[in-house]
Amino acid sequence: MKVLITGGAGFIGSALIRHLVAHTPHRIVNVDALTYAGNLESLESVTGEPRYAFEHLNICDAQGLARVFAQHKPDAVMHLAAESHVDRSIDGPSAFIQTNVVGTATLLEAARHYWLTLSPSARSAFRFHHISTDEVYGDLAGTTDLFTETTAYAPSSPYSASKAASDHLVRAWHRTYGLPTLITNCSNNYGPYHFPEKLIPLVILNALEGQPLPVYGAGLQVRDWLYVEDHARALQCVLETGVPGETYNIGGHNEQRNIDVVQSICTLLEELAPMHPARVAHYADLITHVTDRPGHDARYAIDAGKIGRELGWAPQETFASGLRKTVQWYLTHRTWCRRVQNGSYQRERLGLHDDAPCRH
Ligand code: NAD
């Protein structure tokens, strides 16, 4: 298969590309606008691989997309390009509407026009796989309830509302035009190459630098965590064996309170990096409670039974094994982290000098 992946320079997209190149014969075309979240240094292991090509392109660019579809003739699209950080969506929602809603509609139209040019057999084999989030379901009030594929959408943040809108567009393109779509809604991911604005990498790197470890409110929000390589395996499984028109929830069966995640990272660092930053006796002493995020959802938890029953996928990592691998990765990839933290991963791409300011 030739797979056109959008957002392949991001956290999950780069894990997916590394996984597909290492474990399948598929050819990959990575379409990415390289926003602050896109980092080609996360794809160094596949650069130069003949089965991998990169197209620097915004998914809102209809003409550019038409050219990419005509040139590369993909058998499938895996759509991950998005603005993905909830806090940024609260500060400035417009970019989220533009990329997540308008961009998805533009991509759907480009895919549909290309799909209509295919032979009947290629048309029925074609797949448009939309990668979404469990945040579209909103908040779970009860302590034992789980999101299923039929849970009503009730997004809380501009981010989750824009992702919910994109899911509806994809479903409509299937129902109205017959485009063979797949939708997956996944829980919180963590693992290597995660941009350090997100909780787990932020806590690891701040701890190593002796900086405060910010925890929203009392840290009692519950999230269901999935190791990113388990997500990549699930996405491959859905792409290859999922039924068009269907939605699959993906989750790790790993519900954790935010405060417990931060405590677990501190405990791992005590073992793996025992040289504390000078100011504190224990990493946990750096935990700092900060004002809660407006509209913060209390609990997400996903029922991933359908993908297990129907497609045979199950996560390989527990939270303990995945978190240990993640902490070890950040300890051994300090150059990648430093270049993200000081902005040089972007500066070189933009042709700026080392001392030029770089916008994040
Ligand atoms: P990310 O922010 O790390 O990466 C997003 C990528 O998309 C970047 O490479 C960026 O350059 C690119 N991009 C952004 N706007 C673009 C545009 N207009 N045109 C082309 N490329 C553009 O995101 P992520 O965490 O890897 O998430 C990937 C997808 O998975 C998103 O759709 C997100 O909603 C979904 N998701 C994420 C999580 C999670 O925990 N991170 C969980 C479930 C679902």
Grouping H, G, I as helix, E, B as strand and the rest as coil, residue 139 is coil
Neighbours of 200 (CB within 10 A): 23
356: pLDDT strictly greater than 70: no
> Confidence band (pLDDT; 50, 70, 90) for 145?
confident
287 in ligand 1 pocket by Cβ < 6 Å? Answer: no
> Confidence band (pLDDT; 50, 70, 90) for 360?
very low
> Confidence band (pLDDT; 50, 70, 90) for 17?
very high
Residues 6+ apart with CB under 8 A from 227: 189, 190, 191, 252, 315, 316, 317, 321, 322, 325, 326
What is the phi/psi pair of residue 128, to 5°?
-115, 105
- Choices 3.40.50.720, 3.10.300.10, 3.40.50.10710, 3.40.50.2000: CATH for 2-347: 3.40.50.720
pLDDT, tens digit, 9 for 90 and up, residues 205-226:
999 999 999 999 999 999 999 9
300: pLDDT strictly greater than 80: yes
> Confidence band (pLDDT; 50, 70, 90) for 233?
very high
Q: Which residue out of 18, 61, 84, 340 has the highest number of ligand 1 atoms within 8 Å of its CB and is therefore the one to mutate?
A: 84
d(CA 148, CA 297): 17
Residues 6+ apart with CB under 8 A from 344: 338, 354, 358
Q: What average pLDDT does this structure show over 118-146? A: 93
64 in ligand 1 pocket by Cβ < 6 Å? Answer: no
pLDDT, tens digit, 9 for 90 and up, residues 241-257:
999 999 999 998 899 99
| pLDDT at residue number 59 | 98
> Confidence band (pLDDT; 50, 70, 90) for 172?
very high
Pairing of strands 213-216, 76-79: unpaired
Name beta bridge partners: 224. 255
d(CA 106, CA 95): 15
| pLDDT at residue number 354 | 46
Average pLDDT, the chain: 94
Residues 6+ apart with CB under 8 A from 266: 207, 213, 282, 283, 284, 286, 287
How far is ligand 1, taken at its centre, from the CA of residue 48, in Å? 23
| pLDDT at residue number 357 | 38
> Confidence band (pLDDT; 50, 70, 90) for 355?
very low
pLDDT, tens digit, 9 for 90 and up, residues 317-336:
999 999 999 999 999 999 99
d(CA 167, CA 160): 10
How far is ligand 1, taken at its centre, from the CA of residue 71, in Å? 24
| pLDDT at residue number 280 | 85
**Which residue, among 125, 22, 131, has the nearest Cα to 75 in the 3D structure?**
125
Tell how far CA 164 is from the center of its chain: 15
277: pLDDT strictly greater than 50: yes
Q: What average pLDDT does this structure show over 71-90? A: 96
What is the phi/psi pair of residue 216, to 5°?
-65, 125
35 in ligand 1 pocket by Cβ < 6 Å? Answer: yes
Do residues 243 and 174 make contact, with C-beta atoms less than 8 angstroms apart?
A: no
What's the CA dihedral at 229, 318, 86, 233 to 10 degrees?
Answer: 20
Please give the share of the chain, as a percent, with pLDDT higher than 90. Answer: 86
pLDDT, tens digit, 9 for 90 and up, residues 22-77:
999 999 999 999 999 999 999 999 999 999 999 999 999 999 999 999 999 999 99
| pLDDT at residue number 320 | 97
In the chain, the amino acid numbered 168 is: H
42 in ligand 1 pocket by Cβ < 6 Å? Answer: no
d(CA 323, CA 18): 20
Name beta bridge partners: 294. none
How far is ligand 1, taken at its centre, from the CA of residue 193, in Å? 13
pLDDT, tens digit, 9 for 90 and up, residues 184-194:
999 999 999 99
Residue identifier of the C-alpha nearest atom 44 of ligand 1: 133
Neighbours of 95 (CB within 10 A): 15
d(CA 242, CA 91): 36
Do residues 301 and 212 make contact, with C-beta atoms less than 8 angstroms apart?
A: no
Mark out the alpha helices in the chain (DSSP H runs).
11-23, 62-72, 86-91, 94-96, 104-116, 120-125, 158-177, 199-208, 228-241, 258-272, 305-311, 319-332, 334-341, 344-347
Number of alpha carbons in the 13 Å side-chain half-sphere of residue 154: 11
| DSSP letter (8 states) at residue 282 | S
